[in-house]
Structure 1
Amino acid sequence: MDFLELAEKRQSDRAFDPERKIEPEKIKRILEAARIAPSACNAQPWHFIVVNNPELKNKIADATSTKVLGMNHFTKQAPVHILIVEENANFTSNIGSWVKNKHFPYIDIGIAAAHITLAAAAEGIGSCIIGWFDEKNIKKLLGIPSSKRILLDILLGYSTQEHRNKKRKLSDEIITYNRYEK
Structure 2
Amino acid sequence: MNDFLELVKSRQSDRAYDTTRDVEPEKLERILEAARLAPSACNAQPWRFVVVTDKELSKKVGKAASGMGMNKFAKDAPVHILVVEESANITSLLGGKVKNKHFPLVDLGIATAHITLAAESEGLGSCILGWFDEKEIKSLVGIPSNKRLILDITIGYSIKPKRGKIRKEKGKVISYNKY
Instruction: Tell whether the structures are fold-level matches, with TM greater than 0.5.
Output: yes
Q: Tell me the equivalent position of 1:91.
A: 90
Q: Name stretches of at least 5 consecutive residues in structure 2 with no aligned partner.
A: none
Please give the per-residue CA displacement for 1:35-75, whole angstroms capped at 9, x wherever unaligned.
00000000000000000101111110110012x4x211101
Matches within 5 A, 1:29-178: 29-66=30-67, 68=68, 70-178=69-177
Question: In structure 2, how many angstroms separate the alpha carbons of the residues matched to 1:39 and 1:32?
Answer: 15
Coordinate RMSD, CA, aligned: 0.8
Give 4+ residue runs of structure 1 displaced > 3 Å after superposition: none
More helix by share: 2
Deviation at 1:126, TM superposition (A): 0.2
Q: Tell me the equivalent position of 2:24.
A: 23
Deviation at 1:173, TM superposition (A): 1.2
Q: Name stretches of at least 5 consecutive residues in structure 1 with no aligned partner.
A: none
2:126 is paired with a residue whose SS is: strand
Letter in 2 for 1:12: S
Contact 2:41–2:103 (Cα < 8 Å) also in 1: yes
Please give the per-residue CA displacement for 1:23-42, whole angstroms capped at 9, x wherever unaligned.
10000000000000000000
Question: In structure 1, how many angstroms separate the alpha carbons of the residues matched to 2:70 and 2:132?
Answer: 10
1:3 is paired with a residue whose SS is: helix
1:74 is paired with a residue whose SS is: helix
TM-score (norm 2): 0.98
Q: Percent identity?
A: 64
Deviation at 1:77, TM superposition (A): 1.5
